[in-house]
Amino acid sequence: MRLKCAEKLAALCLSAAMAVSVSACSGGNMYASSNDSSSIADNDVITIGSVTTNSGSAAAYGESEVNGFRLAIKEINENGGIFGKQVRLESMDDKGDVIEASNAFNRLAGEKNVIAVLGPTISSTSGAVAPLADQNQMPSIAPAATADSVETGGYLFRTCFKDSYQGQIAAKYAAENLKVNKVAVLYGTGDPYSSGVGKAFVAAAKKAGLQVVAEENSSSTDDTEYSSQLQKIEASGAEFLYAPYYYSAVGPYIVPQARAVGYDGYIMGPDGYDGLKTTGNKARYDKVLYTTHYSPDDKSNKKVQQFIKSYKDANDGESPNTFTALGYDSVYMFKQAIEQAGENATRADIRNAIAGMHFSGVTGEFTLDKQGSPEEIGHRAGDEERLADLQRHHPTGQVGRIP
Amino acid sequence: MGDQIIMFISQIFNGLKIGSVYSLVALGYTMVYGIIRLINFAHGDFIMVGSYVLMLTIPFIIACGLPAWLAVVPAILVCVAVGVIVEKAAYKPVREKGNNMTALITAIAMSLLLENGSQAIFGADYQTVPTIIQIPTLALGGLKIDGATILTVLLGLVIMVALQLFVKYTKQGKAMRAVSEDKEASILMGVNVNSTITLTFAIGSGLAAVASLMYCVSYPQVSPMMGAMLGLKAFVAAVLGGIGSIPGAMVGGLVIGVVESLTKAYIGTITAGVITSAFSDAIVFGILIIVLLVKPSGLMGEPESEKV
Amino acid sequence: MKKSMLSIKQSYLVCAIGVAVLFGLLMAVCETGAASLYVKGIIMTCCIAVIMTTSLNLTIGVLGQLTLGCCGFEAIGAYSAALLSKLLVANGVQMDATLRFLLVTFAGGVIACVFGILVGIPALRLHGDYLAIITLGFGEIIRVIIQNLKVAGGKGLSEGQQGQALIGIDRLANLYVVFWITVVTVVLLFMFARSRYGRAVKAIRDDEIAAGASGINITHLKVMVFAISAFFAGIAGGIFAQYIGALTPSMAGWLQSINYVIMVVFGGMGSLTGSIVAAVGLTILPELLRAFSEYRMLVYSVVLVLIMVFRPQGIFGNWEFSLPKLVNRLFYPSRVKDPGESGAATESDAVVGRAAESADDKETKA
């Protein structure tokens, strides 16, 4: 009995303390914004943070982005920096994990000299960071987070185009350039990227008057065996297969397996095909195409050839990929924004300069949306304008072929 | 109608393609589990190790003018070495000190160690394996059969028969069965338990190297994490067939492969789109759960009863 | 057993003071602004990890059954809480943010608990390796189902998109509230582990057949423990959802579960305080060693193997840190009769464990 009493006593004390603390304090609030960041004028160097995926399964993308950041920053510093100040990169790894990404982003946001953040790399971490960017009022550019569900337009922007846009240009390309009729689609439902692009393609294909004869799924994008679905696609008489997967699944599995079951039509995909390595008989990859943000064959754009040359010089002749190009452009977007915002620019000034900026880089020429103050974050129509712009400059986007 | 039947048979062969690889992997699982009652979580990662060895040695083997598949010899050597080291360094001390749960945690830890170790060495990126053998596709009327599938199934059958004969008729094999029946009693009968278990691991790991060869023939890409899901599926196969049973592993692997393939091909039509091919992994694990609940000894395993 | 120098009432008081001091410290760093959002975020992550690890330890350490599906229940709790919160807003229910947070988090826990019972009843007929595998299977099934649900993606509910991350979850998690939820969780788990039920559960761990013969309803208790674990995993999930604001189905994967298993093992199987230390330590350590983060999992796995080889019961074993005991030792050193009794207890426990294990071995072989 005595024990019960003591328990009750202790419980009472604690619950009283709890109630008081919960009702009285605001310090536990995770979401109060902090406005105490410094301006560029307060520091001798300009520090830009980055949160990228440098380990785990998406490490290849993050590493490529960081290479792009480094190259751009090196170039900027060699050419006198921004307002005569050198630029420094503070790079952090998020392992592709949302918690790690949030912690790393909060940490960068807490460092007063960090004026802007590059990243995150993948869509899931970007989705978690988007509200943090708004809350910390930290201007951020995700180079390659393509998912439609990533909420951009507040303090987070992106350099790449959206998933739905990739699906649309692929459908347009199939209808207008390849002039096919029957199309099939295969995507991994477990992966936001794969299913997002795949569904956008289906919708756009129907709109473009194409006949979608097969719509197949896999449970993840890490599967190794797609023959069963491909066999059905082959049997459906499709002439064009849209398979939004990563290069790791397309190169060794999907293309050879599709050819093995007798499918010999086009296979097209999104920017995830970049970096694809062929296996065995090269002829199997002849009709493989993908939409990309940047094409090394783009001879009309002088910046592209310059970028490829300086990247190769800095990296023992290795070629840059899409992610490097997007990372490279993202740094220059910040440079342009900082220069526009002036020598006393704060984080908020930089954000306002990015919103609505017109930019021309190795991934093309485009305009970001003009979003107002952070109070109006609810309205995020911006990406449509970006889309229209891209279409103006690259009527079919950029379509790459497997080298 | 004829097309439908050809389609169905093709889908079965598509299933046998991955299923035959599951079988080879499951044989290794079942060998080890049969003797020491340990789910060797790291077995899938032995396959990863074997695949990396293949990737690295094939160019060298070809440069020597030998056929590429001979790269399996260094793969077997490395895998056996890794398997025996893992057993001696981790499993044996834990077996002596801990219980079932600590042994399983050790196995998981070894799996993590191999995955992250190879990630530190080779990087996280995917790498392609050079072509190992060109096997022509068999065409029977409208039916196309992948030659690698047939070869893998045949190889699996040969290994299965060889293992059965080894376990049934050789002295070492009899020792293995004795250890699996009763460790203490077999010690009294003069069986060297430790060397028997080491031999079991060596055979299991060697099998993993053979499995990695056939895996790389069909799926020519390696990455540090490739063994995790493969190992799990193969484990499901071994449980389905009756873990500890050598023919059971073979059958279980093929069944899981075919079930996966038929699920992907037909479940959408059968359930009118409620369950799509995206559920294939869930269905495989669903089968595992049902088997474990209804007949824990599996299709071909010996039923066990609990005694005090 | 030893005689406490403090009365039981005083012991409770000492614990309460300890918690109050901890909370005072938390308030001090938060209110003075010493803690940035980054630090608060880490404290929040620690709290979530503590709830997950202590509740998982109930199954692994106290019941002695390895499960690899705890993140499946965490995901159920997270998605339920997030969707419920959205549902309340969509239906125009006006309520205080903290109240809504508590309500949906609790509901997430209850839903996870229901699933825990549904999964537990069939799964717990098995034990040992098979239970580990079957829970892994359930976790994977939960993951696949979530990723194929239309309501659980995109903006959720009617605006849902299958296969997308669930976004736009109201971020209502307040650090103070979460701190107290963590405290209550740990207290409840302690009370359970020391109750009549808890002792019966430990008897099952040490020898299932003997426990059954002594009239303990094994299935009932196992399912109860499993359900309690699932409930708190669901609570942790609910907090996670409302802290991070965006959810992906991959959170239910078994590799995530293994992270928490590692924490339990590091802390000691059966030691709730050990779990707390391990959860906090293993959450903070990678932050301090960001530079070496690529090798984190490599180091974990090596240390895990070493622990299993040299100290199979985990670092703390089932020794519990106890504030009253410490107070006794500090203030009444002469009257503490049996120094090192905790070590002896661990040792004898290990002996019991070994005996149980050899019995286990025999039964599987038969």
Band of residue A15 on the pLDDT scale cut at 50, 70, 90: low
Interface of C with B in 130-189 (CB under 8 A): 130, 132-134, 136-138, 140-141, 144-145, 147-148
Of the ranges A154-158, B107-111, B166-170, C349-353, which one carries the lowest mean pLDDT score? C349-353
Q: Is residue B103 part of a domain?
A: yes
According to the model, what pLDDT value does residue A14 have? 58
| Contacting residues of A for B124, CB less than 8 Å apart | 55-57, 59-60
- Residue B125 pLDDT: 77
Q: What CATH number did the domain enclosing B253 receive?
A: 1.10.3470
Residues from chain B that touch A279, judged by Cβ atoms under 8 A, are: 128-129, 131, 220-221
Contacting residues of A for B129, CB less than 8 Å apart: 279
Query: How close, in Å, is residue A301 to chain C by CA atoms?
Result: 35
Q: Provide mean pLDDT across the span A110-138.
A: 86
Per residue in C155-211, pLDDT (tens digit) is 777 777 777 888 888 888 888 999 999 999 999 999 999 899 999 999 998 888 899
Contact B307 C148 (CB under 8 A): no
What are the structural domains, with CATH classification, of chain A?
40-161+300-394 (3.40.50.2300), 164-292 (3.40.50.2300)
SS (H, E, C) chain B: CHHHHHHHHHHHHHHHHHHHHHHHHHHHHHHHHHHHCCCCCCHHHHHHHHHHHHHHHHHHHHHCCCCHHHHHHHHHHHHHHHHHHHHHHHHHHHHHHCCHHHHHHHHHHHHHHHHHHHHHHHCCCCEECCCCCCCCCEEECCEEECHHHHHHHHHHHHHHHHHHHHHHHCHHHHHHHHHHHCHHHHHHCCCCHHHHHHHHHHHHHHHHHHHHHHHHHHCCEECCCHHHHHHHHHHHHHHHHCCCCHHHHHHHHHHHHHHHHHHHHHHHHHCCCCCCHHHHHHHHHHHHHHHHHHCCCCCCCCCCCCCC
Is the per-residue pLDDT at C224 higher than 90? yes
B119 contact residues in A (CB cutoff 8 A): 55
Q: Is residue C358 part of a domain?
A: no
Q: Is the pLDDT of residue A40 over 80?
A: no
C310 within some domain: yes
Q: How many other CB atoms sit within 10 Å of the CB of residue A249?
A: 27
- Say what the pLDDT of residue A28 is: 58
Within 8 A of B271 by CB-CB distance, chain A residues are: none
Q: What is the mean pLDDT of residues A131-139?
A: 86
In a domain, C351, yes or no: no
Please give the single-letter amino acid code of residue B176: M
Rounded CA-CA distance A127/A63 in Å is: 20
Chain B: nearest CA to A162, how far in angstroms?
24
Nearest by CB to residue C137, choosing from B89, B110, B288, is B288
* B93 touching C (Cβ < 8 Å): yes
Give the range of the structural domain holding residue C86, as residue numbers without chain letter: 8-332
Could you tell me if residue B233 is inside a domain? yes
pLDDT on residue B149: 86
pLDDT band at A60, cuts 50/70/90?
Answer: confident
Chains contacting A (3 or more CB pairs within 8 Å): B, C
End-to-end Cα spacing for chain C: 38
Residue of C nearest to B275 (CA): C148
Specify the residue for token string 């991350």.
C165
Q: Which of residues 8-27 of A touch C (CB under 8 A)?
A: 9-10, 13-14, 17-18, 21-22, 25, 27
Task: Kindly provide the ipTM of the predicted complex, given to two decimals.
Answer: 0.87
Task: Look at residue B304 in the predicted model and tell me its pLDDT.
Answer: 59
**Closest by CA position to B77, among listed B201, B195, B206:** B206
Share of chain A above pLDDT 90, in %: 18
Please give, rounded to a whole number of angstroms, the shortest distance from the CA of B69 to a CA of chain C. 32
Asked whether residue B308 is domain-assigned, the answer is no
In a domain, B307, yes or no: no
At residue B148, the pLDDT reads: 84
Q: Which residues of C touch A124 (CB under 8 A)?
A: 165, 246, 248, 250
Task: Give the whole-angstrom CA distance, residue C169 versus residue C189.
Answer: 29
Which of 166-195 (A) contact C at CB < 8 A? 189-192, 194-195
Structure confidence at residue B127 (pLDDT): 86
pLDDT value of position A369: 57
Q: How far is C242 from C82, CA to CA, in rounded Å?
A: 7
Task: Give the closest of B7, B119, B221 to A248, CB-based.
Answer: B221
Digit-coded pLDDT (tens) for B267-308: 877 777 777 777 888 888 888 888 888 887 888 877 654 444
Identify the band that residue A390 occupies on the pLDDT scale cut at 50, 70 and 90. very low
Nearest to B282 among C144, C269, C297 (CB): C144
Partners of B236 on chain C (C-beta within 8 Å) are: 137
Does C19 map to a domain? Answer: yes
- Total tally of structural domains belonging to chain B: 1
Whether the Cβ atoms of residue C305 and residue C266 lie closer than 8 Å to each other: no
Containing structural domain, residue B141: 2-294
pLDDT at C244 over 70: yes
Q: Is residue C348 part of a domain?
A: no
Q: In total, how many domains does chain C have? A: 1
Among C248, C259, C288, C299, the strongest candidate for a mutation testing the A interface, having the largest count of A CBs within 10 A, is C248
CB < 8 Å from C in window 209-228 of B? 228
- Map residue C113 onto helix, strand or coil: helix
Is the residue at B205 inside a domain?
A: yes
In a domain, C318, yes or no: yes
In-domain check, residue B304? no
Query: Using one digit for the tens of pLDDT, what is the confidence trace for A335-379?
Result: 999 998 888 888 888 888 888 777 888 877 777 754 322 222 222
CB atoms within 10 A of CB B85: 12
Residue C159, H or E segment:
none
C347 or C6, higher pLDDT: C6
Q: Are B179 and B186 in contact (CB under 8 A)?
A: yes
Chain A interface disruption, residue of B145, B223, B280, most A CBs within 10 A = B280
User: Across chain B, what does the average pLDDT equal?
Assistant: 87
Residue B303 resides in a domain? no
Those residues whose C-beta lies under 8 Å from the C-beta of residue B92, and which sit 6 or more positions away, are: B194, B197
Whether residue B216 lies inside any domain: the answer is yes
In CATH, what number is assigned to the domain containing residue C279?
1.10.3470
